[in-house]
A = this chain, B = another copy of it.
């Protein structure tokens, strides 16, 4: 029970995914929960600068307690580590998200952003998502999270790297077909807006769409998910395109552009 683990999510502190995670991880570590008071999906790596944050104590039935925050997942990690917790966490864990976080969607993900924030603060972190929106069974993913917590010291994560984990929705842990270390897929999302008319005859738009077909490359996160395998993608947040940076230095002379 040496590890002190901070758990967050983006589906809100009342979501079943975080409950499943807290219940399993509590068996092997001390757990603190600081999570958004409401759903904060697809908020990207947002932080709240123009409003103050409110913090409330939260009790999940007779099982666990934590803090709910009127902000984003990144806000939760910042305020937990800087203000709310007595002790600095050893690990930040974000999830279990309802729905996969793969491909380009990773940059929109609130779940991933909580783990990113942990990493920025110098704490080994991972995000974990369940790859379904219907009939979720969070238990196997929570069991895998426990295995990851135990394995983490041996993985020697670089300082600025976190793990983005997607777990298939299966009945039992034994049904998980395998595990692949993947890279982030880059297939574009085929977006479509649906225009509707409200009761006052004014237009409004819903964002929808579908993912482009996945290439047969089993080292991509989307592909692993499709094959019912666990996907682990190491990600980082230095966005510099180093290869092109060198080319650009060759191309741009100060004179010609200024």
Q: Which residues of A contact B (CB under 8 A)?
A: 39, 41-50, 52-55, 72, 74-75, 78-79, 82-83, 104, 106-108, 113, 116, 120-122, 144, 147-148, 151, 154-158, 160-161, 176, 178-179, 181, 183-184, 186, 188, 191-193, 195-196, 202-207, 230, 232-245, 247-249, 251-252, 254, 256-258
Contact = CB atoms under 8 A, between A and B. Distances in A.
Given A107-B237, A235-B239, A254-B178, A244 B183 contact: no
A55 B205 contact: yes
Contacts of A54: 202-205
A157 to B, nearest CB: 7
Q: Per DSSP, are chain A's interface residues mostly helix, strand or loop, or mixed?
A: mixed
Instruction: Please give the count of copies of this chain that the complex contains.
Output: 2
Closest 3 CB pairs of A and B: A44-B44, A44-B45, A235-B239
27 contacts: A41-B49, A42-B47, A42-B49, A44-B44, A46-B108, A47-B207, A52-B206, A53-B193, A53-B207, A54-B202, A78-B191, A79-B205, A107-B237, A148-B257, A151-B257, A161-B244, A181-B245, A183-B240, A183-B242, A184-B239, A186-B238, A232-B252, A234-B245, A235-B240, A235-B241, A236-B240, A237-B239
